[in-house]
Structure 1
């Protein structure tokens, strides 16, 4: 079939109308719908005929209906648009933050907030400093429980809680040293100040980290 000229492939004459050409193409496609090679030849023959008709139209020799689909209209290259140079790292960072951050409900914030407020109150006003390790243990356990309830990932919840605890204690001690060195009068003992800061950090992490 591919050795014939385009008109012969479609089974029409060179004087055939566009409607006849299209009908012939559709009939052949229905007949050879399971033969991809023949279908490709039919499509190529149709495009060649339409391109020839288009050239004749441009030369003013024939008139072509506007509804006819021309191959060059499909292949028309659209004007280039300015492409903004973007940093490929930014989308990755954005996705990382979206996966890491969480938007907790008011109920969850309130429940964990009450627990940590009680821990802060007891740690500040307790005369016995030796109770602070126990209070910190309760705070760490609360933070782990809140994190674990979100995605049920045991080791991830432990890791995030442990990191938050270590950062809280270290940053609290550094911050206290800076405040004292700057001449600020800090009324809390170092242990209580570290507990207060750590409780706040654990509350933030447990609620706003997935």
Structure 2
């Protein structure tokens, strides 16, 4: 009897809304009735049919100029025209922010200046026969590295850490190179080690900040 009674009602009565109800009220009424009968499939179909009928009635009235319908409303005849939303893949950064912030893009003049300084220090180191002289040259290299890195970001602590890291990596690379049995005569192994450390300082000072 309930289904028969609903079928005899007009769409507005099924949705329990007035004919001048807003679209929001119509949609709310449809959802409310369906939620009240969650397991009643026939009721849901009846309510959906009534909802589509109301929308078709509103469309007809809009075409006749009797009402104004928002563009975003869903009309039954437009369902087939709906296109699936386009999916866009999220853009992934090629490198993390901290890497991008650490890298520097020096011009040729800066690279040349830094390279000339460390080349001069490496040249003196190659011909040095004194450990004290090598220590002095490394101290000059450290001082220059601290100055050059600090002038980029005005962060002395960061400049110090990068300089220490360059020395450590240079020492490891130089030690590994000497352990391969590289013939260094007449150059002292300590001089070769110093030169490798100067190369690492040059790379860090030129391309990091």
Query: Does structure 2 retain, via aligned residues, the 8 Å contact 1:57–1:64?
Result: no
The one-character-per-residue Cα deviations of 1:81-108 (angstroms, maximum 9, x if unpaired) are 456599xxx7494323211211112221
* Aligned equivalents of 2:183, 2:177: Cα separation in 1: 13
Query: Does structure 2 retain, via aligned residues, the 8 Å contact 1:120–1:195?
Result: yes
Distance 1:53 1:71, change over 3 A: farther
The one-character-per-residue Cα deviations of 1:49-92 (angstroms, maximum 9, x if unpaired) are 9x98852376x676368x9642236xx97524456599xxx749
Query: Does structure 2 retain, via aligned residues, the 8 Å contact 1:173–1:190?
Result: no
Distance 1:207 1:64, change over 3 A: farther
* Aligned equivalents of 1:62, 1:72: Cα separation in 2: 12
* Aligned equivalents of 2:99, 2:62: Cα separation in 1: 62
The one-character-per-residue Cα deviations of 1:112-171 (angstroms, maximum 9, x if unpaired) are 111111101111123444310000001111111111011001111111111211221122
Q: In structure 1, what is the equivalent of residue 84 of structure 2?
A: 79
Root mean square deviation, CA, Å: 3.5
Q: 1:149 aligns with which of 130, 148, 151?
A: 151
Give the 5 Å matches for 1:1-210. 7=20, 45=22, 54-56=55-57, 63=63, 69-72=70-73, 79-81=84-86, 91=93, 93-178=95-180, 180=181, 184-187=182-185, 188-210=187-209
Q: Unaligned stretches of 5+ in structure 2?
A: 1-16, 27-50
Aligned pair count reads 159
The one-character-per-residue Cα deviations of 1:142-201 (angstroms, maximum 9, x if unpaired) are 1111110110011111111112112211221122102x0xxx433332101100100000
Query: Does structure 1 retain, via aligned residues, the 8 Å contact 2:129–2:188?
Result: no
Q: In structure 1, what is the equivalent of residue 9 of structure 2?
A: none
* Aligned equivalents of 2:85, 2:69: Cα separation in 1: 26
Farther-moved stretch of structure 1 (140-149 vs 118-127): 118-127
* TM-score of the two chains, using structure 2 as the length reference: 0.61
Distance 1:133 1:64, change over 3 A: farther
* Aligned equivalents of 1:150, 1:57: Cα separation in 2: 68
Distance 1:55 1:172, change over 3 A: same
Query: Does structure 2 retain, via aligned residues, the 8 Å contact 1:104–1:208?
Result: yes
